Amino acid sequence: MSERTPGFSTLAVHAGAQVDPATGARVTPIYQTTSYACENVDQAALLFDLRNLGNVHTRLGNPTNAVLEERIAALEGGTAGVVTASGHAAQVMVFHCLLQPGDEFIAAKGFYGGSINQFNHAFRNFGWNVVWADPADISSFERAISPKTKAIFTESIANPGGVITDMAAVAQIARRAGVPYIVDNTLATPYLCKPIDHGADIVVHSLTKFLGGHGNSIGGAIVDAGTFNWSRERRYPMLCEPQAEYQGIVLHETFGNFALAIACRVIALRDIGAALSPFNAFLILAGIETLPLRMRKHCDNALAVAEWISTHRKVAWLSYPGLPGDRYHNLAKKYCPKGAGAVFTFGLKGGYDAGVKLVSKVRLFSHLDNLGDNRSLIIHPASTTRRLLSDAQKIQAGAGADVVRVSIGIEDAEDIIADLDQALAD
């Protein structure tokens, strides 16, 4: 009889974890240490040459973090994971392993403003150039490919507009171009969507959001799907050429289908240093244990709130792919059949002033710049995160004067609706 494959909820609680052999502790301990003693000189040499894998310094790896890495990789269906100090750090580390100065990558328009800023500005300091494509026109990804293209990047569910990319179609374009396909799965989480099942080669996360779920820890993650042949194209020297600092090891030859995860650890984490605190890993692990329960409640509440908002006399429009009639509803059913997530935007007929009034009058909602918390959150981007942009730039960023973004929590849906109702009252 074949061994049973654990279900998602079981993996969310148990993957990567075991009873602590030293103390019998059932919950993964916090290994709050900077470094680890070597048994002898020979063992140390094997570790530092990458001939053996083990703990050397917490900047490169930590036993608490290792449980979190294995758990996220198991939930996503990947071969290995690496956790980082933030979601932005995860993106920097992935591209550090793939790109050289002058290289390009293609990214989908209409997603997280922080990533847009990072790609347009910070990455240019490294000589990495982004080319934008339109997820509503999949052929635009094909047209954007050039000899300099090294990767394609999209979100599963885009923040904040709810754009859902046809990932399988983009994955085919990436395959034809011989480049890896990277998907940010932060808003969906692997409970709602597994991008690797649809052709993604690399998945990144902000653990700060739904995976952690409690608004108490910042973190990021990289998951290696193990599906890309780094040696075939010979275009990724960090993975397919000898690494002098590790006695000439070729990472893909040595580590096979988790070579990208190894590169992110032993090169990107080593040199960029964006390591996750073990204490944050401990808190995020606790959050993941309830991920399936929370995401079901998030999605149920979001659908109920969106249905209510869509009929309100003061609301001009609403963008939520969970609603029939939304332009991305069919893609949501295909890629996120359990629910379309908990984040959406809507526009108020009163424009800027109405948005400011709404966020000023809510009581249950917290007015802040975050999402994925178990609490309901709200923000009016034009008066906060995007206030320094011109009016044209705000509209281009999906933050026009009338736009309000909500992240629906796990409170009672009736209470969430009641709070919005009183805040929208004359």
Cis, peptide link before residue 6, omega less than 30° from 0: no
Domain boundary among 259, 287, 315: 287
Q: Which amino acid is at 243?
A: Q
Same domain (yes/no): 279, 298 = no
Parent domain of 308: 292-424
Q: Are 145 and 106 in contact (CB under 8 A)?
A: yes
Instruction: Tell me: do 262 and 401 sit in the same domain.
Output: no
The CATH number of the domain holding residue 339 is 3.90.1150.10
Give me the helices (H) in 152-290, please: 167-177, 189-192, 230-233, 237-240, 251-255, 259-263, 270-272, 278-288
Per-residue confidence in pLDDT tens, the chain, 426 aa: 457 889 999 999 999 999 988 899 999 999 999 998 888 887 877 777 777 788 888 899 999 999 999 999 999 999 999 999 999 999 999 999 999 999 999 999 877 778 888 999 899 999 999 999 999 999 999 999 999 999 999 999 988 778 899 999 999 999 999 999 999 999 999 999 999 999 999 999 999 999 999 999 999 999 999 999 999 878 999 999 999 988 899 999 999 999 999 999 999 999 999 999 999 999 999 999 999 999 999 999 999 999 999 999 999 999 999 999 999 999 999 999 999 999 999 999 999 999 999 999 999 999 998 999 999 999 998 887 666 566 666 566 666 788 999 999 999 999 999 999 999 998
pLDDT at 52: 78
254 and 396 share a domain? no
- Residue 105 falls within a domain, yes or no? yes
* Alpha carbons 372 and 184: distance in angstroms, whole number: 14
Residue 206 lies in a domain: yes
Do 115 and 30 fall within a single domain? yes
Domain stops at, among 240, 258, 287: 287
pLDDT at 1: 40
Question: Phi-psi region for residue 256, left (φ > 0), alpha (ψ -120 to 50) or beta?
Answer: left
251 with 344, same domain: the answer is no
Q: How many domains does the chain have?
A: 2
| Angstrom distance (rounded) from CA 95 to CA 180 | 11
Q: What is the CATH number of the domain that holds 232?
A: 3.40.640.10
Strands 377-379 and 403-407 turn out to be: antiparallel
- Residue ending a domain, choose from 287, 302, 337: 287
Q: Tell me what pLDDT residue 42 has.
A: 79
With H, G, I as helix, E, B as strand and everything else as coil, classify residue 66: helix
Does 71 fall in a domain? Answer: yes
| Residues 226 and 174 reside in one and the same domain | yes
Burial annotation 195-206 (CB, 10 A radius, 16+ → b, else e): bbebbbbbbbbb
Are 269 and 334 part of one and the same domain? no
298 and 271 belong to one structural domain: no
Tell me, yes or no, whether 260 and 358 share the same domain: no
Residues 28, 113 within the same domain: yes
Closest to 195 in 3D by CA, of 220, 226, 234, 225: 225
Question: What is the reported pLDDT for 117?
Answer: 84
> Is residue 397 domain-resident?
yes
> Other C-beta atoms within 10 Å of 243: how many?
18
Specify the pTM.
Answer: 0.95
Q: Which pLDDT does position 77 carry in this prediction?
A: 98
| Residue 66 belongs to some domain of the structure | yes
